[in-house]
Protein backbone atom coordinates (compact mmCIF):
# COMPACT_ATOMS: atom_id res chain seq x y z
CA UNK A 1 0.00 0.00 0.00
CA UNK A 2 1.28 3.45 -0.98
CA UNK A 3 -1.21 5.84 0.60
CA UNK A 4 -0.80 9.55 1.19
CA UNK A 5 2.69 10.88 1.72
CA UNK A 6 3.94 7.86 3.65
CA UNK A 7 6.42 5.37 2.22
CA UNK A 8 4.87 2.20 0.72
CA UNK A 9 4.20 -0.57 3.26
CA UNK A 10 3.39 -4.27 3.00
CA UNK A 11 0.48 -5.53 5.11
CA UNK A 12 -0.90 -9.07 5.58
CA UNK A 13 -4.35 -9.84 4.16
CA UNK A 14 -6.75 -12.78 3.96
CA UNK A 15 -8.87 -11.69 0.98
CA UNK A 16 -10.34 -14.25 -1.43
CA UNK A 17 -11.31 -13.48 -5.02
CA UNK A 18 -14.60 -15.08 -6.15
CA UNK A 19 -16.28 -14.49 -9.48
CA UNK A 20 -19.83 -13.14 -9.47
CA UNK A 21 -21.16 -16.15 -11.39
CA UNK A 22 -19.56 -18.64 -9.00
CA UNK A 23 -21.07 -16.81 -6.06
CA UNK A 24 -24.53 -16.70 -7.65
CA UNK A 25 -24.37 -20.40 -8.50
CA UNK A 26 -23.48 -21.24 -4.91
CA UNK A 27 -26.23 -19.05 -3.42
CA UNK A 28 -29.00 -20.04 -5.81
CA UNK A 29 -28.35 -23.74 -5.25
CA UNK A 30 -29.36 -23.36 -1.60
CA UNK A 31 -32.38 -21.08 -2.02
CA UNK A 32 -35.55 -22.90 -0.88
CA UNK A 33 -38.81 -22.77 -2.78
CA UNK A 34 -40.95 -19.69 -1.99
CA UNK A 35 -43.35 -20.06 0.91
CA UNK A 36 -46.98 -19.09 0.10
CA UNK A 37 -47.89 -15.77 1.71
CA UNK A 38 -51.18 -14.97 3.48
CA UNK A 39 -53.94 -13.65 1.27
CA UNK A 40 -53.72 -9.88 0.79
CA UNK A 41 -50.08 -9.61 1.89
CA UNK A 42 -47.85 -8.11 -0.78
CA UNK A 43 -44.42 -6.99 0.43
CA UNK A 44 -41.53 -6.70 -2.01
CA UNK A 45 -37.78 -6.59 -1.34
CA UNK A 46 -35.87 -4.85 -4.13
CA UNK A 47 -32.24 -5.99 -4.30
CA UNK A 48 -31.58 -4.14 -7.56
CA UNK A 49 -33.01 -1.21 -9.47
CA UNK A 50 -35.44 0.01 -10.61
CA UNK A 51 -37.23 0.99 -7.42
CA UNK A 52 -40.81 2.29 -7.26
CA UNK A 53 -41.17 5.73 -8.84
CA UNK A 54 -41.57 7.41 -5.45
CA UNK A 55 -37.91 6.64 -4.63
CA UNK A 56 -35.15 9.06 -5.56
CA UNK A 57 -31.42 8.91 -4.93
CA UNK A 58 -29.06 11.19 -3.01
CA UNK A 59 -25.48 11.47 -4.28
CA UNK A 60 -22.54 12.40 -2.07
CA UNK A 61 -19.79 12.92 -4.60
CA UNK A 62 -19.34 12.48 -8.34
CA UNK A 63 -16.23 10.36 -8.74
CA UNK A 64 -16.18 7.56 -11.28
CA UNK A 65 -14.12 4.38 -11.58
CA UNK A 66 -12.73 2.51 -14.56
CA UNK A 67 -11.96 -1.23 -14.50
CA UNK A 68 -9.47 -2.77 -16.92
CA UNK A 69 -8.04 -6.24 -17.42
CA UNK A 70 -4.24 -6.25 -17.24
CA UNK A 71 -1.27 -8.55 -17.70
CA UNK A 72 1.25 -8.53 -14.88
CA UNK A 73 5.02 -8.67 -15.26
CA UNK A 74 6.39 -12.19 -14.61
CA UNK A 75 7.85 -11.25 -11.22
CA UNK A 76 4.66 -9.66 -9.84
CA UNK A 77 3.27 -11.65 -6.87
CA UNK A 78 -0.08 -13.28 -7.67
CA UNK A 79 -1.31 -13.25 -4.04
CA UNK A 80 -0.91 -9.52 -3.37
CA UNK A 81 -3.37 -6.66 -3.76
CA UNK A 82 -1.93 -3.20 -4.47
CA UNK A 83 -3.40 0.16 -3.47
CA UNK A 84 -1.89 3.53 -4.37
CA UNK A 85 -3.11 7.10 -3.90
CA UNK A 86 -2.23 9.71 -6.51
CA UNK A 87 -2.77 13.43 -6.94
CA UNK A 88 -6.07 13.04 -8.80
CA UNK A 89 -7.34 9.67 -7.59
CA UNK A 90 -6.24 6.18 -6.60
CA UNK A 91 -5.48 2.77 -8.09
CA UNK A 92 -6.26 -0.76 -6.92
CA UNK A 93 -4.63 -3.81 -8.53
CA UNK A 94 -6.35 -7.14 -7.93
CA UNK A 95 -4.65 -10.31 -9.20
CA UNK A 96 -7.00 -13.22 -9.94
CA UNK A 97 -6.78 -16.87 -10.90
CA UNK A 98 -7.49 -16.28 -14.58
CA UNK A 99 -7.60 -12.51 -15.05
CA UNK A 100 -5.96 -9.61 -13.25
CA UNK A 101 -7.90 -6.38 -12.80
CA UNK A 102 -6.96 -2.75 -12.28
CA UNK A 103 -9.43 -0.28 -10.78
CA UNK A 104 -8.79 3.42 -11.40
CA UNK A 105 -10.85 5.94 -9.41
CA UNK A 106 -10.85 9.67 -10.19
CA UNK A 107 -9.36 9.51 -13.68
CA UNK A 108 -8.73 7.23 -16.65
CA UNK A 109 -6.59 4.12 -16.30
CA UNK A 110 -3.94 5.63 -18.57
CA UNK A 111 -3.82 9.00 -16.78
CA UNK A 112 -3.52 7.48 -13.31
CA UNK A 113 -0.94 4.89 -14.36
CA UNK A 114 1.16 7.74 -15.74
CA UNK A 115 1.31 9.17 -12.19
CA UNK A 116 1.91 5.80 -10.48
CA UNK A 117 5.15 5.07 -8.63
CA UNK A 118 4.28 1.55 -7.46
CA UNK A 119 1.44 -0.18 -9.32
CA UNK A 120 2.57 0.79 -12.83
CA UNK A 121 5.77 -1.22 -12.27
CA UNK A 122 3.72 -4.42 -11.77
CA UNK A 123 1.82 -4.15 -15.08
CA UNK A 124 3.10 -5.35 -18.44
CA UNK A 125 0.00 -4.53 -20.50
CA UNK A 126 -3.42 -2.92 -20.13
CA UNK A 127 -6.05 -4.59 -22.31
CA UNK A 128 -8.69 -2.55 -24.18
CA UNK A 129 -12.31 -2.54 -23.09
CA UNK A 130 -13.35 -2.61 -19.46
CA UNK A 131 -16.16 -0.73 -17.80
CA UNK A 132 -16.75 2.69 -16.23
CA UNK A 133 -19.12 3.19 -13.31
CA UNK A 134 -20.01 5.66 -10.56
CA UNK A 135 -17.99 4.99 -7.39
CA UNK A 136 -19.23 7.67 -4.99
CA UNK A 137 -21.59 6.85 -2.07
CA UNK A 138 -25.32 7.03 -2.87
CA UNK A 139 -28.49 6.23 -0.97
CA UNK A 140 -32.10 5.70 -2.04
CA UNK A 141 -34.65 8.07 -0.49
CA UNK A 142 -36.97 6.69 0.74
CA UNK A 143 -35.50 3.28 1.53
CA UNK A 144 -38.88 1.66 2.16
CA UNK A 145 -42.57 2.50 2.14
CA UNK A 146 -45.97 0.99 2.82
CA UNK A 147 -49.45 1.40 1.42
CA UNK A 148 -51.87 3.78 3.22
CA UNK A 149 -53.39 0.82 5.10
CA UNK A 150 -50.00 -0.74 5.86
CA UNK A 151 -51.02 -4.07 4.31
CA UNK A 152 -48.37 -3.98 1.60
CA UNK A 153 -45.19 -2.14 0.72
CA UNK A 154 -41.54 -2.49 -0.24
CA UNK A 155 -38.00 -2.45 1.10
CA UNK A 156 -34.79 -1.62 -0.78
CA UNK A 157 -31.62 -3.49 0.06
CA UNK A 158 -28.22 -4.13 -1.51
CA UNK A 159 -27.37 -1.98 -4.51
CA UNK A 160 -30.99 -0.82 -4.73
CA UNK A 161 -30.62 0.86 -1.32
CA UNK A 162 -27.01 1.94 -0.93
CA UNK A 163 -24.00 2.33 -3.21
CA UNK A 164 -20.63 2.25 -1.46
CA UNK A 165 -17.21 3.52 -2.44
CA UNK A 166 -15.14 0.43 -3.44
CA UNK A 167 -12.22 1.73 -1.37
CA UNK A 168 -13.65 0.47 1.94
CA UNK A 169 -14.58 -3.05 0.88
CA UNK A 170 -17.62 -3.33 3.17
CA UNK A 171 -20.38 -3.36 0.54
CA UNK A 172 -20.92 -7.13 0.32
CA UNK A 173 -21.15 -7.63 4.08
CA UNK A 174 -23.48 -4.68 4.46
CA UNK A 175 -25.76 -5.96 1.66
CA UNK A 176 -26.01 -9.35 3.36
CA UNK A 177 -26.99 -7.70 6.66
CA UNK A 178 -29.59 -5.58 4.85
CA UNK A 179 -31.12 -8.68 3.24
CA UNK A 180 -31.39 -10.41 6.63
CA UNK A 181 -32.97 -7.31 8.17
CA UNK A 182 -35.39 -6.79 5.26
CA UNK A 183 -36.65 -10.38 5.40
CA UNK A 184 -36.99 -10.13 9.18
CA UNK A 185 -38.94 -6.88 8.77
CA UNK A 186 -41.39 -8.48 6.34
CA UNK A 187 -41.94 -11.41 8.70
CA UNK A 188 -42.50 -9.03 11.61
CA UNK A 189 -45.16 -7.07 9.71
CA UNK A 190 -46.90 -10.24 8.53
CA UNK A 191 -46.81 -11.42 12.13
CA UNK A 192 -48.82 -8.41 13.28
CA UNK A 193 -46.19 -5.75 14.12
CA UNK A 194 -46.95 -2.09 13.37
CA UNK A 195 -45.71 -1.55 9.79
CA UNK A 196 -44.80 2.10 10.36
CA UNK A 197 -42.58 1.22 13.34
CA UNK A 198 -40.88 -1.63 11.47
CA UNK A 199 -40.21 0.54 8.42
CA UNK A 200 -38.77 3.31 10.57
CA UNK A 201 -36.50 0.79 12.28
CA UNK A 202 -35.31 -0.55 8.92
CA UNK A 203 -34.78 2.93 7.49
CA UNK A 204 -32.79 4.08 10.51
CA UNK A 205 -30.58 1.00 10.58
CA UNK A 206 -29.63 1.44 6.93
CA UNK A 207 -28.90 5.13 7.36
CA UNK A 208 -26.68 4.30 10.34
CA UNK A 209 -24.78 1.79 8.20
CA UNK A 210 -24.43 4.37 5.44
CA UNK A 211 -23.08 6.88 7.94
CA UNK A 212 -20.45 4.40 9.14
CA UNK A 213 -19.36 3.89 5.54
CA UNK A 214 -19.08 7.63 4.94
CA UNK A 215 -16.95 8.01 8.06
CA UNK A 216 -14.61 5.28 6.82
CA UNK A 217 -14.38 7.02 3.45
CA UNK A 218 -13.67 10.31 5.20
CA UNK A 219 -10.77 8.73 7.09
CA UNK A 220 -9.24 7.18 3.95
CA UNK A 221 -9.60 10.33 1.86
CA UNK A 222 -8.19 12.49 4.63
CA UNK A 223 -5.07 10.34 5.00
CA UNK A 224 -4.66 10.07 1.22
CA UNK A 225 -5.13 13.79 0.67
CA UNK A 226 -2.68 15.36 -1.77
CA UNK A 227 -4.58 18.10 -3.58
CA UNK A 228 -7.85 19.67 -4.65
CA UNK A 229 -9.38 16.39 -5.91
CA UNK A 230 -9.08 14.85 -2.45
CA UNK A 231 -10.53 17.95 -0.79
CA UNK A 232 -13.63 17.58 -3.00
CA UNK A 233 -14.11 13.97 -1.89
CA UNK A 234 -13.77 14.93 1.78
CA UNK A 235 -16.32 17.72 1.36
CA UNK A 236 -18.78 15.27 -0.22
CA UNK A 237 -18.30 12.87 2.72
CA UNK A 238 -18.94 15.73 5.13
CA UNK A 239 -22.24 16.52 3.39
CA UNK A 240 -23.30 12.90 3.58
CA UNK A 241 -22.38 12.55 7.25
CA UNK A 242 -24.33 15.71 8.07
CA UNK A 243 -27.40 14.36 6.22
CA UNK A 244 -27.20 11.04 8.07
CA UNK A 245 -26.76 12.79 11.42
CA UNK A 246 -29.89 14.88 10.85
CA UNK A 247 -31.95 11.78 9.99
CA UNK A 248 -30.65 9.76 12.93
CA UNK A 249 -31.20 12.55 15.42
CA UNK A 250 -34.80 12.96 14.21
CA UNK A 251 -35.50 9.23 14.55
CA UNK A 252 -37.21 7.88 17.62
CA UNK A 253 -35.87 5.27 19.99
CA UNK A 254 -35.48 1.73 18.73
CA UNK A 255 -38.39 -0.57 19.56
CA UNK A 256 -36.94 -3.68 17.92
CA UNK A 257 -33.67 -5.54 17.66
CA UNK A 258 -32.49 -8.28 15.34
CA UNK A 259 -31.98 -11.64 17.01
CA UNK A 260 -30.75 -14.18 14.50
CA UNK A 261 -33.14 -13.78 11.58
CA UNK A 262 -36.06 -12.26 13.50
CA UNK A 263 -36.96 -8.81 14.77
CA UNK A 264 -38.01 -8.82 18.41
CA UNK A 265 -39.48 -6.00 20.54
CA UNK A 266 -37.18 -4.44 23.13
CA UNK A 267 -37.55 -1.90 25.92
CA UNK A 268 -36.52 1.71 25.70
CA UNK A 269 -33.08 2.23 24.26
CA UNK A 270 -30.85 5.19 23.56
CA UNK A 271 -31.70 7.12 20.39
CA UNK A 272 -29.64 6.06 17.35
CA UNK A 273 -27.41 9.11 17.23
CA UNK A 274 -23.86 9.27 15.98
CA UNK A 275 -22.32 8.73 19.44
CA UNK A 276 -24.16 5.44 19.93
CA UNK A 277 -22.89 4.01 16.66
Q: What is the pLDDT of residues 135-190, one digit of tens each?
A: 999 999 999 999 887 779 999 999 999 999 998 888 888 999 999 999 999 999 99
Q: Please state the pTM of the whole predicted model.
A: 0.87
Whether residues 150 and 241 share a domain: the answer is yes
Query: Can you give the CATH number for the domain in which 103 is found?
Result: 3.30.70
Q: Which of 102, 134, 166 is the last residue of a domain?
A: 134
On whether the CB atoms of residues 242 and 218 are closer than 8 A, the answer is no
Q: Which of 77, 104, 134 is the last residue of a domain?
A: 134
Q: How confident is the model at residue 17 (pLDDT cuts 50, 70, 90)?
A: confident
pLDDT at position 276 is 39
Whether residues 145 and 155 share a domain: the answer is yes
- For 71, the domain range is 64-134
On whether the CB atoms of residues 144 and 202 are closer than 8 A, the answer is yes
On whether the CB atoms of residues 91 and 116 are closer than 8 A, the answer is yes
Whether residues 203 and 72 share a domain: the answer is no
Instruction: Find, among 176, 201, 174, the residue nearest to 265 by Cα.
Output: 201
Burial 160-176 (b: 16+ CB within 10 A, else e): bbbbbbbbbebbeebbe
Strand partners, 154: 44, 145
pLDDT at position 171 is 86
Residue 211 has, within 13 A of its CA and on its CB side, a CA count of 21
The answer to whether residue 28 is domain-embedded is no
Whether residues 79 and 192 share a domain: the answer is no
- Give the residue, 10 or 276, on which the prediction is more confident: 10
Whether residues 117 and 216 share a domain: the answer is no
**DSSP assignment string, 204-237:** HHHHHHHHHHHHHHHHHHHHH--SHHHHHHHHHH
The pLDDT of residue 34 is above 70? no
Pairing outcome for strands 152-156 and 82-86: unpaired
DSSP three-state, residue 159: helix
Amino acid sequence: MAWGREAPVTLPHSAVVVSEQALLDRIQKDIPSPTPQPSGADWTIYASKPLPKVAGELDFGSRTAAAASVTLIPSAPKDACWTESLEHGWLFLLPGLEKHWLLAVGGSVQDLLAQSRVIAKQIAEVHPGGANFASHPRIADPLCASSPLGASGWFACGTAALAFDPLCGDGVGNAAREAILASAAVRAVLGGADASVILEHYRTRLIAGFERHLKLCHEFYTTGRSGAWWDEQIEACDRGIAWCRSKLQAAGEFSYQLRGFSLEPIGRQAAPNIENK
